[in-house]
Structure 1
Amino acid sequence: MQVPKRNSISHNRLEGEIPPGVAQLRHLSFFSLSFNGLTNFTSGIKILMHCKMLDVVLMAHNFLQEMISNDDINMVASNGFKNLQFLDLSECQLTGQFPIWLSKLQKLEILNLNTNRMTGSIPGWLSTLPRLISLQLSDNLISGEFPEELCALPALVSEQDLADNSSFLLPIFNINMNIWFHQYNSIHNWKPNIVLRNNSLSGHIPVEIARLKQLHTLDLSHNNFSGNIPSQISELTNLEDLDLSANQLSGKIPASLISLSFLHTLNVSDNKLYGEILSGTQLQSFDASAYKGNLGLCGDPLPKCGHLTRDSRDMDIHDEEDGDSIPWFHIFVVLGFITGFWGVCGPLLLYHNWRVAYFSFLDKLIDKLDEAIAVSVSG
């Protein structure tokens, strides 16, 4: 195995711009300058794009609060980074929207843009990246919905043969969902994930997410997703970590989730879920903190379901097919009252003879009541 050319000088006090001379390092494959004081993001990316053999670019915590530029970099992007597999620009507080030049990186497998200040929506063109297995966009200012196009990422829909990507030596590290700390010796061993934690995403979680069969981690926490948890998530048979906490999700926890036998991290806390947690399943093996903040949820590991109020039980009548709660019980009560009211009072308003007969009947009824009362008193 040929050892590739590497440049790793992370965690130093380097400042200033990436020198233009780096562009002459034609055989450079691994470039790591994370946690330094680099500036001029646009210039640095353009210089590195001349290094045609680059596999990995790690520049986390640099270019603080700079703007992501599209126009200048697009002039170089057609040929630059053509072999790039791993791009880490996390913790840079970069501003702006998704750079379109990322769509040119047809060999990109891992994209880490965590902890920036990126705005706009998640672009659908990410689904055109045929080898992307890891999309990490947590702690940004991204809005809009979860794009259905994202559910068609080729390398997450079906298993890809990525064995040729293990030619360089790492190691590389990743903090997964702020919980699991992983060290990998090659990109080939990286666990596929989509991490969109702590943004401003809204709308429903698309049922098409079930297509992403290769996913190991799905983190949509701390957003504004609404509607039901799609039962189709149970079709993600490789899923190990699922975090849907701190959203506006409603309805019951899908019974189908019990089929995720390899799920070892679950968090649906701080939503609007209700109903009983299915007993005798691995859903009860998780700590109570995984379910906290859902006032309508009950059952082990939460308190028993006897404490549910009538309002909580009435939720079962709501329509859940599209994730919107429709109070059918209350609708039927109102309709019944209206029907009964007009069934009795309508004819009285429309027909004079009926009104005369009705009030004559009331007069006779009152007279009989008076007589009965008088007899009772005299007796």
Structure 2
Amino acid sequence: MPVPRHIMPYGVLFKFFVISTLISTNHACNKADRESLSSSFDAPSLNWSSSSDCCHWEGITCDEDGRVTHLLLPSKRLHGGVSRSLGNLTHLSHLNLSHNLLSGSLEARMFLSLSYLEILDLSYNLFFGEVPLSLSSSYIRTVDFSSNQFNGTIPFSFLQHAWNLNSLNVSNNHFTGQIPSSICLRSSSLRVLDFSHNRFSGSIPLGLGNCSELEVFRAGENTLSGSLPSDIYNAQALQEISLHSNRLFGPISENIGKLSSLKLMLLHFNNLEGPLPPPLMNCTNLVEINLGFNRFSGNISVLDFSELTQLSKLDFVANLFTGILPISLYSCKSLKALRLAENNLEGQIQPEIVSLKSLSFLSLSENRLTNATGAMKILMGCKSLRVLLLSENFLGEEMPDVDIMDESSGFQNLSILSFYRCQLTGQVPLWLLKLKKLEVLDLSFNRLTGPIPGWLGTLPSLFLLILNHNLISGEFPKELCRLQALVSQNAATQTGYDYLELPIYYQRVNASVTPLQYKYLSNMPRAISLRNNSLSGNIPFEIGQLQLLRELDLSVNNLSGEIPNQISNLTSLERFDLSRNHLSGEIPASISSLHFLSSFTVAYNNLQGIIPSGTQIEGLNATAFEGNQGLCGAPLPNKCQQMNISNDTKDVHASNGKGVPWFHFSVIFGFIFGFWGVCGSLVFIRSWRHAYFLFLSNVKDKFLAMAN
């Protein structure tokens, strides 16, 4: 009788069991490796004790002999130090402990026996101290120590055996000294070198030209000096040069044109100088050029950008370029961000700019451009435009009027608009009412007149309004207290979360610190700043509705009346300036409940009474309250006890005509008893009683008349 197919014969089953057992035995974890793993670091979250065979443990891979070859435990919430017993895993080829909370220093001997190591990734931990003198493995391909707290120098012997190295990343640490030279002599296969965000000094080492396969070279945010090494232009496979935020000087060589594979050229925040070499335009694969904050010069209009068809970002901010806006730039159809601010460019914006269909970010501030109205008529055609910065141009011209905004589609995606320090005349333009996505508006340092229009309060996304240093008059409009992005948390979550193609540098008024850099709109302050205008009237109590407001500056105006108690509803407020107005009354005691308040001043007003106590207020300097003769208490030197008598007198004489005048009553009552004491001994009791009752009757009538 044949055996049914679904029933396995006992002989076959036995053979399968034997083979499975043999296979399992062959892959059983080496006992020494298991002990080394158990004592290497604290890993309670891995539950390794659930099996005696470490080859089955999470993150572990073994070879056919049961030796551990892969230890891959990224993002496992590991903490504590790493024991040198890890070095007993002599067959280890891949070690990845990245994105944990491991700390301590690395034992130098730990890596001496790891002669088969290919991948070493300890990035994003808390390791400190110096790195080992040498990695003994000649198989090593990737070394990543980035985002830790390592310090000291990187020894020249560190990679002396690394013949196959293709990636070295030590960024975001505290390394000092010079960048190791001759790295490329050790390995001809290097593709990535990242030394950025450390404290390396000295010059960029020679020898990079020997890295024939080098694609990425990063050493930004250090203190490197000197010029660009001449042989760097021989590394013709380079796709990224990132050396920003150093102290490099000198020109860019004509040889830059040899780097035909170059995509990213980031040299901003240095002292590089001279004209840009025309061969730079031969690097037709360029996607981003950032040469901002240097000393480059020359006539920019002679450069031909027309072949850079892949160029997405061009940033030449804060240099010494002259000439007009290059027409050839408008051939860069992929251009999304263009910043030529803080140069010496002149002329007008040309109509050809509308051919840049993807242009989202445009900054031409601090040049000598003219014809503001013409510029706005043209730029309306850039349908993708989100950021438009035209500050310090069009000096003394008139604010473009409503006629240019007849087309409803103009600026419909605009989020940021700045005409800062243009000395424009006129009023806040009505066409702003159509910009429903506007989030940041800066019209400060102009000569605008008239009132603040109430319709600004209807812009659904506006959260940063700056009208400082104008000639604006009238009252603080109550409608401004309805800005949805400052009132409603739901509305606020819909604004400010767009990534900016280029960072924006924002300087607070009267701030001496370095301008703040913002890469996201969400990081910009939610603020209203109306400093140095001619505003009058009271601060409306409706201002308490702006509960998401973080900065409020109403200083140097003509505001009067009392500070509304509703200010205490602004629980997110961090900076508050009411100085140099005509405010009176007391400082609301509830202001001490503003726990995030770090800057506050009411100096030079007509305020009086006791300065409220509270953690935030007590830490302020006396200058925050000076110029108010009626204020007392800390931090002012005049104590409130010295003022109690006058304050009590005011309270005594204050009456609404309906309460009992207790001061007069006490005087009369005292007079009665005094009269009894003096007259009782001089007259007969009978006649005195008669006189006393007549007197008391008169006093009673007067007292009731006063009480009514």
Amino acid paired to 1:194: I
| Worse-matched range after superposition: 115-124 or 275-284 | 275-284
Q: Offset of 1:161 from its aligned partner?
A: 2.2
CA deviation string 1:139-168 (max 9, x = no partner): 000000000000001111012223684233
Looking at structure 2, the residues matched to 144 and 83 of structure 1 have their Cα atoms a distance apart, in angstroms, of 31
Give 2:486's match in structure 1, choosing from 147, 151, 156.
Answer: 156
Residue 306 of structure 1 is matched in structure 2 by 641
Amino acid paired to 2:506: N
Q: Offset of 1:23 from its aligned partner?
A: 2.1
Secondary structure at the aligned position of 1:61 is classed as coil
Residue 168, structure 1, aligned to residue 511, structure 2? no
Residue 42, structure 1, aligned to residue 376, structure 2? no
Amino acid paired to 1:263: L
Looking at structure 2, the residues matched to 89 and 52 of structure 1 have their Cα atoms a distance apart, in angstroms, of 19
Residue 193 of structure 1 is matched in structure 2 by 527
Secondary structure at the aligned position of 1:184 is classed as strand
Residue 346 of structure 1 is matched in structure 2 by none
CA contact (8 A) 1:177 1:219 kept: no
Q: Offset of 1:315 from its aligned partner?
A: 5.8
Counting only pairs closer than 5 Å after superposition, residues 193-342 of structure 1 correspond to structure 2 as 193-279=527-613, 281-303=615-637, 304-308=639-643
Residue 53, structure 1, aligned to residue 388, structure 2? no
CA contact (8 A) 1:317 1:328 kept: no
Residue 30 of structure 1 is matched in structure 2 by 361
Looking at structure 1, the residues matched to 653 and 599 of structure 2 have their Cα atoms a distance apart, in angstroms, of 30
Looking at structure 2, the residues matched to 318 and 40 of structure 1 have their Cα atoms a distance apart, in angstroms, of 65
Q: Offset of 1:302 from its aligned partner?
A: 0.4
Q: 1:315 to 1:275 in 2, by over 3 A?
A: farther
Residue 367 of structure 1 is matched in structure 2 by none
Secondary structure at the aligned position of 2:544 is classed as helix
CA deviation string 1:296-336 (max 9, x = no partner): 111111021234386666566799xxxxxxx979xx99xx9
Give 1:110's match in structure 2, choosing from 440, 449, 452.
Answer: 440
Secondary structure at the aligned position of 1:14 is classed as strand
Q: 1:55 to 1:313 in 2, by over 3 A?
A: farther
Secondary structure at the aligned position of 2:417 is classed as strand
CA deviation string 1:206-233 (max 9, x = no partner): 0000101110000000001101111110
The number of residues matched between the two structures is 323
Query: Under a length normalisation based on structure 2, what TM-score does the superposition of the two structures give?
Result: 0.44
Residue 370 of structure 1 is matched in structure 2 by none
Looking at structure 2, the residues matched to 172 and 261 of structure 1 have their Cα atoms a distance apart, in angstroms, of 29
CA contact (8 A) 2:499 2:519 kept: no
Looking at structure 2, the residues matched to 233 and 315 of structure 1 have their Cα atoms a distance apart, in angstroms, of 27
Counting only pairs closer than 5 Å after superposition, residues 46-195 of structure 1 correspond to structure 2 as 46-76=377-407, 78-159=408-489, 160-162=492-494, 165-179=497-511, 181-195=515-529
Looking at structure 2, the residues matched to 173 and 315 of structure 1 have their Cα atoms a distance apart, in angstroms, of 52
Residue 6, structure 1, aligned to residue 337, structure 2? yes
Q: 1:313 to 1:111 in 2, by over 3 A?
A: farther
CA contact (8 A) 2:461 2:495 kept: no
Q: 1:285 to 1:164 in 2, by over 3 A?
A: closer
Looking at structure 1, the residues matched to 648 and 533 of structure 2 have their Cα atoms a distance apart, in angstroms, of 33
CA deviation string 1:246-294 (max 9, x = no partner): 0000011100001001100001000000111134543121000000000
Q: 1:276 to 1:124 in 2, by over 3 A?
A: same
CA contact (8 A) 1:42 1:69 kept: yes
Percent identity of paired positions between Structure 1 and Structure 2 = 51
Q: 1:242 to 1:11 in 2, by over 3 A?
A: same
- Note the residue ranges of structure 1 that are not aligned, 5 or more in a row: 320-326, 337-379
Q: 1:84 to 1:315 in 2, by over 3 A?
A: farther
When Rg is computed on C-alpha atoms for both structures, the one with the higher figure is 2
Looking at structure 1, the residues matched to 550 and 591 of structure 2 have their Cα atoms a distance apart, in angstroms, of 15
Secondary structure at the aligned position of 1:170 is classed as strand
CA contact (8 A) 1:277 1:284 kept: no
CA deviation string 1:10-64 (max 9, x = no partner): 0111112111111222211000001000111100011111000001001110010
Looking at structure 2, the residues matched to 248 and 291 of structure 1 have their Cα atoms a distance apart, in angstroms, of 13
Secondary structure at the aligned position of 1:257 is classed as helix
CA contact (8 A) 1:90 1:112 kept: yes
Q: Offset of 1:177 from its aligned partner?
A: 4.0
Secondary structure at the aligned position of 1:168 is classed as strand
Q: 1:317 to 1:243 in 2, by over 3 A?
A: farther
Amino acid paired to 1:127: G
CA contact (8 A) 2:439 2:496 kept: no
- Note the residue ranges of structure 2 that are not aligned, 5 or more in a row: 1-311, 314-334, 665-708
Q: Offset of 1:182 from its aligned partner?
A: 2.3
| Worse-matched range after superposition: 19-28 or 238-247 | 19-28
Q: 1:276 to 1:164 in 2, by over 3 A?
A: closer
Amino acid paired to 1:154: Q
In angstroms, what is the RMSD of aligned CA positions?
A: 2.4
Secondary structure at the aligned position of 1:43 is classed as helix
| Worse-matched range after superposition: 258-267 or 163-172 | 163-172
Q: 1:328 to 1:163 in 2, by over 3 A?
A: closer
Looking at structure 2, the residues matched to 66 and 312 of structure 1 have their Cα atoms a distance apart, in angstroms, of 54
Amino acid paired to 1:92: C
CA contact (8 A) 1:225 1:248 kept: yes
CA contact (8 A) 2:416 2:440 kept: yes
Residue 56 of structure 2 is matched in structure 1 by none
CA contact (8 A) 1:105 1:129 kept: yes
| Worse-matched range after superposition: 95-104 or 275-284 | 275-284
